[in-house]
Amino acid sequence: MNLGELTIEEFHQGLVTKKFTALEAVQNLFNHIKKTDKKIGAYLSLDEDGAIKSTEEVDIKISKGESISILAGIPMAIKDNILIKNLPATAASRILENYKASYDASVIKKLKEEQAVFIGKTNMDEFAMGSSTENSSFHITHNPHDPKRVPGGSSGGSAAAVASGQALAALGSDTGGSIRQPADFCGLVGLRPTYGAVSRSGLIAMASSLDQIGPIAKTARDAAILARAIYGKDSMDSTSVGLDLGGDILNPKLKDIESITIGLPIEYFPKEINKDISKGLEMVSQEFKNLKVNFKKISLPHTKYAISSYYIILPAEVSANLARFDGIRYSRIKNKESDNLKKLYFSQKTSGFGTETKRRVILGTFVLSSGYYDDYYKKAQQMRAIISKEFEEVFHEVDVILTPTSPTPAFKIGEKIADPLAMYMSDMFTIPSSLAGLPAISIPTGHKTEEGLPTSFQLIGKKWADATILKIGQLYEKTIGTEGKTAF
Amino acid sequence: MELARLEIDGREEEKLLKDLQKIVGYFDELKELDIESTEPMTGGTDLNNVFRDDKDKQGTNLGSGTNGFPETNDDNFLKIPPVFE
């Protein structure tokens, strides 16, 4: 049996009842990875020695009969833009090809305290720019449900690793949907926390006002277990806020949701919506209706402007954040040396950045340049304020918002890569809540297409109501009978 | 390109120009709106002025910046090519 298919609680039970040791589990998993990852391409680098070493203490504790954390010994995959000390952190970019992280991200510090085990660093779109993981500078990643299709992005490697049983759970980062959309495409649960709920220290920044780290897991319950471990205020990230998820986060009660109202925004259910997505969503609504949840049609009229607003603000922040990668401070590409500083900048950046990254850096430089600032950047920020306010207002009438996660199931490799605008549109349902800084979770509906591709729904919560959407997600899994079971 | 410190060759430039025209053209939908009176949202958080006490503090990541330099001299100074020709 491949132990990577277990949920966190099943794995924990296996450890404490001595069905297997943490070491055996890691060895089992690496065998599975060596057999499967040539076809999937989920990982950019593996750390077998480090993973084996970190199981030692866990196994000693168990053999002595001491209690262990629920995350102790749990093999996890980590997106390559999150720093683990002494391991490569390339963010799938050539410009960081030779970089090794010199400190742990705050979320990694927290997981190390729980004695989680890190298997390796996962593939992604370069610097998290993309929705298909095709923008990785190293290789593409295939969707485990259909290798001809993309796993989504930008956290596509993390999602593919979990969906193919190469890790029990993973961390990704979500700027405009980069956790939720790959979780959707791979039949998993993906949580984007409220902006500020999780420290960004040690996350290679793309767009600082939007980036958040979050879990990709097989079930909402696993996502909640991980959330409990990584949430919290951190002095290294002054935008972080201490949020208590509550002692009952893993014990949601049906009566808690009987009186809630779920909002269905008309803008997220266009007439031309994909028929499988629509079928999945109908199924979800019916299940919730059976649980006596109230529904209300709502309107968020400025939703259609979210893509423009986002794809102006994001490149603007990208162009500032990526200025630091100059071949001087982090790593240097060999054979692109120069005897003069300015020439070195040009040669390093030109050969180090991929097409989409260059496109966004140039776009960002443009929207911020004098003469265009008012027309683009300022307008985008004003639109962001309007979209945020609109959410705030509807949350007086409803408790959570239910939408599709993506307009389509996983698309084919190569289908959208030549048309950046078409690729940007695939984030249309995840971007608005990102702009507003709201928590959102993607959960499989249970309905699959004829080709066997998963479909998902998204729950958007009020600011800091991360626990609410995690609980509703767990109750949904209980209702349709996938609780504690993996979707594959 | 000069601002972004990027060199783009002829063929790449053609494709890039076409893509950017399409993308920026799409953004023009914002121009049709009268939203001048709205206060822009300038970040992801509504927190203001996060201060800490003005005291000595030992950083937890001490040395980690300099450890990562690709090229240093014996004193751990960052080594760079000449700035002036």
Interchain pair B45, A366: CB under 8 A:
no
Rg (CA), chain A: 21
Q: Reply yes or no on whether the pLDDT at A482 is more than 70.
A: no
Higher-pLDDT residue of A256, A114: A114
Q: Does B77 touch chain A (CB under 8 A)?
A: no
CATH of A1-488, one of 3.90.1300.10, 3.20.20.100, 3.40.630.30, 2.60.40.10: 3.90.1300.10
Q: Reply yes or no on whether the pLDDT at A486 is more than 70.
A: no
**Extents of the domains making up chain A:** 1-488
Distance between A210 CA and the closest CA of chain B, angstroms: 6
Q: Reply yes or no on whether the pLDDT at A141 is more than 50.
A: yes
Q: Which of A84, A100, A102, A213 to mutate to test the interface with B (most CBs of B within 10 A)?
A: A102
- Among A62-76, A319-333, A400-414, whose mean pLDDT is lowest? A319-333
Q: How confident is the model at residue A487 (pLDDT cuts 50, 70, 90)?
A: very low
Mind telling me the catalytic residues of A?
Answer: 79, 154, 178
pLDDT at res. A483: 56
Interchain pair A349, B26: CB under 8 A:
no
pLDDT at res. A488: 46
Distance between A428 CA and the closest CA of chain B, angstroms: 14
Q: Does B72 touch chain A (CB under 8 A)?
A: no
pLDDT at res. B60: 64
Q: Reply yes or no on whether the pLDDT at A340 is more than 80.
A: yes
Interchain pair B23, A195: CB under 8 A:
no
% of chain A at pLDDT higher than 70: 99
The mean pLDDT value for A154-169 works out to 98
Query: Of the candidates A235, A339, A421, which has its C-beta nearest B23's C-beta?
Result: A421
Q: How confident is the model at residue A118 (pLDDT cuts 50, 70, 90)?
A: very high
Nearest CA among A135, A225, A184 for reference residue A429: A184
Q: Is the dihedral of CA A78, A81, A85, A88 positive or negative?
A: positive
Interchain pair B16, A311: CB under 8 A:
no
Q: Are A457 and A403 in contact (CB under 8 A)?
A: yes
Q: Are A133 and A172 in contact (CB under 8 A)?
A: no
Neighbours of A85 (CB within 10 A): 18
DSSP letter string, A346-409: HHHHHHHS-HHHHHHHHHHHHHHSTTTTIIIIIHHHHHHHHHHHHHHHHTTT-SEEEEESSSSS
| Mean pLDDT computed over every residue of chain A | 95
Q: How confident is the model at residue A66 (pLDDT cuts 50, 70, 90)?
A: very high
Q: Which of B1, B2, B6, B29 to mutate to test the interface with A (most CBs of A within 10 A)?
A: B6
pLDDT at res. B70: 82
pLDDT by residue (tens digit) across A391-435? 999 999 999 999 999 999 999 999 999 888 888 989 999 999 999
Nearest CA among A220, A222, A244, A221 for reference residue A231: A244
pLDDT at res. A469: 97
